[in-house]
């Protein structure tokens, strides 16, 4: 199956790949306890809200958070359904095979369930992308979609191109093919995340979509440049910049303080009382212990109480939250 999508690599892209590799390595080496559960969940919600917002979904981050937590909110019914579907789709992200067309269709069926009659199948008709009343992209005819997606997936699976570059090329080619009647933007961004996750696990929790949303006008402008040039090089540079900036933000947010690391080491795999923890970390002043050790560890999602409904119980102990 001979297929090679056209793309150009400039010096800026080479530098971005090097920076991303360096940042990924630093984060991976520092993660003694792994990415904490609260941060993982928060970033997943940010990803969903941002990706939907790019497609004109009106829900705020707070509203999407409430939906994910099973709460009812006031808002447009379709927007709420989009958020519920997206969360369900992203919940299976870590198990998805990015090199399977069948998995792609299954994910689309979940993402667009009850939102389009063609959920889980390739489009049956022609489709165009508009900027106002102006057509900015005419997708290939429907009868070519199956073959083009098969070739693209096969290329992603077998190509020796660096995963960072490959994922960006996929993103552009997927949007160019526009294989579905609806949801192409959401699916393209999600599938790039899955491709990167299979390379480095950190990308399963990196909210790149948040930065794409902040640079949305430029995002669409770059897609147009790629269409005009018949080359995805401009989008590769744009997406790598967003990935690199997301890693820098992630590193700043996720960093575990020395005090929290010390507390986690003291707890180990046991359940342990507050007094014993104070002794093990070498702190005699309880307010200092709570402010600098215990509360940050709990707020960041590393530690929880064994009796959460009775926080002041004399039998209270603390355990690490398993990732």
Alpha carbons 60 and 170: distance in angstroms, whole number: 29
Q: What is the pLDDT of residue 94?
A: 86
Query: Which residue would you say has higher pLDDT here, 135 or 24?
Result: 24
C-alpha to C-alpha distances, 84 to 13, 26, 67, 262, nearest whole angstrom? 36, 34, 7, 38
- Whether the per-residue pLDDT at 153 is higher than 90: the answer is yes
Q: Is the dihedral of CA 219, 221, 225, 228 positive or negative?
A: positive
Structure confidence at residue 130 as a pLDDT band (50, 70, 90):
low
Indicate the domain borders of the chain: 11-254, 258-320
The architecture in CATH of the region 11-254 reads Orthogonal Bundle (1.10)
pLDDT at 68: 92
Instruction: Over range 144-156, report the average pLDDT.
Output: 97
Span 171-194, pLDDT tens digits = 999 999 999 999 999 999 999 999
Mean pLDDT along residues 131-155:
87
What is the percentage of the chain residues whose pLDDT exceeds 70?
A: 93
Is residue 257 predicted with pLDDT exceeding 50? yes
What pLDDT does residue 163 have?
A: 96
Tell me the mean pLDDT in the region 254-283.
Answer: 85
Tokens of 112: 């667009």
Residue 218 has pLDDT above 80, yes or no: yes
* 80 pLDDT higher than 90: yes
- In which order are the strands placed within the sheet that holds 317-320? 272-273, 317-320, 303-305
> Above 90 in pLDDT, residue 273?
yes
pLDDT tier for residue 316 given thresholds of 50, 70 and 90: very high
Position 34 pLDDT exceeds 80: no
pLDDT in tens, 289-299: 988 889 888 87
**pLDDT band with cut points at 50, 70 and 90 for residue 323:** low
- Percentage of the chain modeled with pLDDT above 90: 67
């Amino acid at each position: 199956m001979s297929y090679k999508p056209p793309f150009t690599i400039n010096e800026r892209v080479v530098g971005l790949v090097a920076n991303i590799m360096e940042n990924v390595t630093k984060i991976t080496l520092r993660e003694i306890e792994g990415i904490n559960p609260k941060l993982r969940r928060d970033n997943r919600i940010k990803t969903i809200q941002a990706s939907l917002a790019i497609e004109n979904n009106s829900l705020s981050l707070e509203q999407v958070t409430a939906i994910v937590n099973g709460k009812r909110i006031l808002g447009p019914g379709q927007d709420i359904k989009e958020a519920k579907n997206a969360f369900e789709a992203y919940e299976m992200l870590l198990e998805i095979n990015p090199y399977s067309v069948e998995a792609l269709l299954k994910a689309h069926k979940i993402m667009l369930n009850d939102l389009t009659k063609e959920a889980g199948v390739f489009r049956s008709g022609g489709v165009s992308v508009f900027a106002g009343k102006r057509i900015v992209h005419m997708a290939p005819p429907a009868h070519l979609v199956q073959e083009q997606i098969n070739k693209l997936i096969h290329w992603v699976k077998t190509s020796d191109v660096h995963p960072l570059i490959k994922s960006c090329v996929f993103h552009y080619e997927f949007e160019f093919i526009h294989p579905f009647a609806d949801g192409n933007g959401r699916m393209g961004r999600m599938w790039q995340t899955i491709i990167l996750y299979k390379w480095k696990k950190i990308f399963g929790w990196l909210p790149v979509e948040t930065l794409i949303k902040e640079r949305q006008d430029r995002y669409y402008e770059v897609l147009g440049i790629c269409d005009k040039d018949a080359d995805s090089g401009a989008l590769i540079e744009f997406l790598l910049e967003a990935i690199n900036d997301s890693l820098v933000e992630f590193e700043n947010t996720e960093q575990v303080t020395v005090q929290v690391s010390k507390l986690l080491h003291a707890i180990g795999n046991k359940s342990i009382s507050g007094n014993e923890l104070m002794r093990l970390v070498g702190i005699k002043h309880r307010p200092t212990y709570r402010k600098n050790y215990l509360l940050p560890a709990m707020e960041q999602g590393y530690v929880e109480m064994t009796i959460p409904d009775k926080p002041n119980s004399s039998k209270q102990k603390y355990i690490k939250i398993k990732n």
